[in-house]
């Protein structure tokens, strides 16, 4: 693996905890420089002390276009370039589709989809100009498959993957790469800090049961965020990173089952589907 490995500059969103914090550490360990960001930059002091001046910090609220532009400009002013953008900022809104209010749904989409799109668009001009760069979209196995009570979260991740797959084809001739990361369950703070919609009893056996399962899993997830960060840096190092990088055995198993189910449906209904052609 011999990709862009010398003195890269990373801009990473959502670095106050979880994947964001660990990706900063992994990038520093690889010898790179990082602009670590969060809505409250005072939460990033531990990261600012890493390395030999390799990490700088600034405020970045992905729901505020001015904040996004300011962070990108600050990174370019300090380091002169951005080689890797990691769109990691996010949160989990849990509830059945009917339970989640439209305001809650919009808030989820604003962070997971529009925020990532805003940051991506802000970084692309500099990457196009330098003719290189990698955009890492922190998606989820929930960007391709679904679970009860995760409808709003899935909506954001499915949308992000649609945008990112299209983007990948558009920017490849310009020297820019796109990689979607699809973790399973990892020991990050996303579960403990999630928001929950009001409960409707009719969904107790579906969304309600899965809420209980997720709450019981908290702190015992199988995935190690530090190992995930190391894997992400290794994929970025590659000359040919995957469009989608699944992380965790549960992600591999769940995504494989989802894809096999889709193919089975496509095959089973192929004759009827093809019958719609103009005679």
Known catalytic residues are 139, 153, 157
Q: Give the CA distances from residue 199 to residues 56, 100, 155, 156, 244, in Å, rounded to whole numbers and listed in that order.
A: 42, 9, 20, 21, 34
CA end-to-end span of the chain: 52
Type and span of the H or E element at 65: helix 65-79
Backbone dihedral angles phi then psi of residue 161, each to the nearest 5 degrees: -70, -40
Return the number of other C-beta atoms located less than 10 Å from residue 138's C-beta: 28
Rounded to whole angstroms, how far apart are CA atoms 208 and 221? 20
What letter does residue 89 receive in the DSSP assignment? Answer: -
Q: By the 8 A CB rule, do 223 and 110 touch? A: no
Q: Token pair of 239, please? A: 């000359």
The distance from CA 152 to its chain's CA centroid, rounded to whole angstroms, is 15
Residue indicated by tokens 């930059």 = 41
Residue indicated by tokens 């700088």 = 56
Q: By the 8 A CB rule, do 231 and 245 touch? A: yes
Nearest of 217, 35, 20 to residue 123 by alpha carbon: 35
């Amino acid at each position: 693996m011999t990709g862009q490995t010398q003195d890269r500059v990373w801009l990473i969103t959502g670095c106050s905890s979880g994947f964001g914090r660990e990706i900063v550490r992994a990038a520093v360990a690889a010898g790179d420089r990082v602009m670590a960001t969060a809505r409250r930059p005072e939460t990033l002091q531990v990261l600012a002390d890493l390395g030999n001046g390799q990490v700088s910090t600034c405020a970045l609220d992905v729901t505020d276009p001015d904040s996004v532009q300011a962070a990108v400009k600050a990174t370019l002013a300090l380091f002169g370039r951005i080689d890797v953008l990691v769109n990691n900022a996010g949160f989990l809104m849990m509830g059945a589709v009917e339970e989640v209010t439209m305001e809650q749904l919009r808030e989820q989409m604003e962070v997971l989809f529009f925020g990532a799109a805003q940051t991506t668009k802000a970084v692309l001009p500099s990457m196009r100009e330098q003719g290189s760069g990698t955009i890492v979209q922190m998606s989820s196995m929930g960007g391709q498959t679904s679970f009860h009570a995760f409808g709003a979260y899935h909506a954001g991740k499915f949308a992000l993957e649609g945008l990112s797959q299209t983007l990948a084809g558009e920017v490849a001739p310009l020297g820019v790469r796109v990689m979607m990361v699809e973790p399973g369950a990892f020991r990050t703070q996303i579960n403990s800090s999630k928001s929950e919609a009001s409960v409707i009893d009719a969904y107790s056996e579906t969304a309600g049961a899965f809420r209980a399962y997720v709450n019981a899993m908290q702190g015992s997830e199988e995935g190690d965020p530090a190992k995930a960060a190391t894997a992400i840096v290794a994929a970025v190092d590659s000359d040919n990173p995957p469009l989608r990088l699944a992380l965790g055995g549960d992600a591999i198993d769940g995504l494989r089952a989802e894809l096999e189910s889709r193919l089975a449906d496509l095959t089973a209904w192929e004759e009827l589907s093809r019958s719609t052609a103009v005679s």
